[in-house]
Amino acid sequence: MISSEPDLRFPCRRSYDRDGNKITQTRAPPRRKLLFSVRKGGRTAADVWRDDMFTKGTKRKFSDSGEEPVAGGDQGPPLAAAAAAAAAAARTLSSTYSLQRQSLLDMSLIKLQLCHMLVEPNLCRSVLIANTVRQIQEEMTQDGTWQIMTQALAAAQCPADRLVATEVLCRQTDPAVQAGHSPKPFPEEGYPAGEAEAVAAMEGEVEAEVTMVPQLAPSASYLAGPFGVGPCWVGEEEEEDEEEEEEEECDEDEDSEECASEEGEEGERDRLSASSRTADQVFGTFEIKHPAAAAAVAAPPADPALEELFSDVDPSYYDLDTVLTGMQAAPKMGPYDLLESLSSHGPSTLGSGASCRSDLNELDHIMEIIVGS
């Protein structure tokens, strides 16, 4: 029985149900991070590392992360099961190490997202971060953690939602998938720029970017989403002032991300296409799958794969207006929550460190006004 009510366990961004009725989107409960989340007001990634990763254990036991997904609200059984599965697998590793690795991965992905779009981002820095991400992914693939994490993500979420995320996460880096069959377990196919989208998914901008992609070159990035332009950074600064009031670090980042995505999408198409080459550079580096390397499977070429990818998806997804409306009306939907949870590691320091340079010009301007010179 298909209900026209959105299923709160699996928040989807469908605007129309299968009968063609418009769905009024309601706000889904915030989803906690699937695997290794940090408690509210918890420590930052750096804190975790500071505990001297190889010699001492952290105070947080691994079982904490098992509790977390349930605590956050109506998660539903699949998530808990996925968390448990991942937990079980990861217990074979040092839990500290895998926690830290995960937090490093999250931090790296966020760094790649949060670049200046006023000035071209520093290519050297982007390449180094992307190499770090690649290294972590390879290691996680060898451990088997990667596959578990992606399966968990895939199982837990609405397929259309996580389309890109799952497909990328499960890609040819996973030899089992490679050897098995050319189409993935999921309807979508791989395409070279898919990793970019996957990262986008993990950052929570997947909706917007997925819609963007068919309209522009496949490798056009999701960079438009999270890029903080001037006003957004000012917004973030204001949020920092309210930090005492904000208990939840992730709310702050969420707002800034949301602001950024709105900034990014609203009319910034030019910037998107203009920066697509830059994105290419950055996100190209995400490409773990090499058609040559994936010997077992002939990688499908980009364009047909792209079409196939989107053929199963509700065409209303491509409606930018819908997306924007969706974003504004229900900002805390599915993939966005993943960003929130990723962000909960405390990238507020990131925000100040990584991005303040460009908005120092803004600060300059503000200073002049204050000083009255």
Contact residues toward other proteins (CB under 8 A) are: 44-46, 49-50, 52, 100-101, 104, 107, 111, 117-120, 122-125, 127-128, 130-132, 135-136, 192-193, 270-271, 274-275, 277-278, 280-281, 283-287, 290, 347, 349-350, 352-354, 357, 360-361, 363-364, 367, 371
Residue 204 DSSP symbol? T
Collapsing DSSP states into helix, strand and coil, what is residue 146?
Answer: helix
DSSP codes, 230-252:
HHHHHHHHHHHHGGGT---HHHH
Nearest residue (CB) to other proteins, 63 versus 131: 131
Nearest residue (CB) to other proteins, 123 versus 179: 123
Q: How far is the CB of 20 from other proteins (least distance, A)?
A: 39
CA distance 13 to 250: 21
Nearest residue (CB) to other proteins, 130 versus 153: 130
Nearest residue (CB) to other proteins, 83 versus 350: 350
| C-alpha separations of 371 from 212, 231, 241 in Å | 43, 21, 20
CB 226 within 8 A of CB 279: no
Q: How far is the CB of 285 from other proteins (least distance, A)?
A: 5
CB 102 within 8 A of CB 60: no
Q: How far is the CB of 336 from other proteins (least distance, A)?
A: 23
Nearest residue (CB) to other proteins, 91 versus 357: 357
Q: How far is the CB of 348 from other proteins (least distance, A)?
A: 10
Nearest residue (CB) to other proteins, 53 versus 85: 53
The overall longest dimension of the chain from CA atoms, in Å, is 69
Q: How far is the CB of 228 from other proteins (least distance, A)?
A: 15
Residues 6+ apart with CB under 8 A from 121: 115, 278, 282
> 321: closest CA among 265, 249, 251, 258?
265
Nearest residue (CB) to other proteins, 126 versus 151: 126
Residue 317 DSSP symbol? G
Nearest residue (CB) to other proteins, 328 versus 349: 349
> 66: closest CA among 45, 49, 47, 80?
80
* Residue 327 backbone phi and psi in degrees, to 5: -65, -45
CA distance 369 to 363: 10
Q: How far is the CB of 219 from other proteins (least distance, A)?
A: 8
Nearest residue (CB) to other proteins, 103 versus 147: 103
Q: How far is the CB of 28 from other proteins (least distance, A)?
A: 30
* Burial status of residue 189 (CB atoms within 10 A of its CB: 0-12, 13-18, 19 or more): buried
- Token look-up 């699996």 returns 10
Output Rg (C-alpha) for the chain, integer angstroms: 20
CB 118 within 8 A of CB 271: no
* Residue 66 backbone phi and psi in degrees, to 5: -70, -35
Q: How far is the CB of 350 from other proteins (least distance, A)?
A: 6
Nearest residue (CB) to other proteins, 7 versus 120: 120
CB 282 within 8 A of CB 226: no
Per DSSP, what are the bridge partners of residue 93? Answer: none
Q: How far is the CB of 279 from other proteins (least distance, A)?
A: 10
Q: How far is the CB of 127 from other proteins (least distance, A)?
A: 5
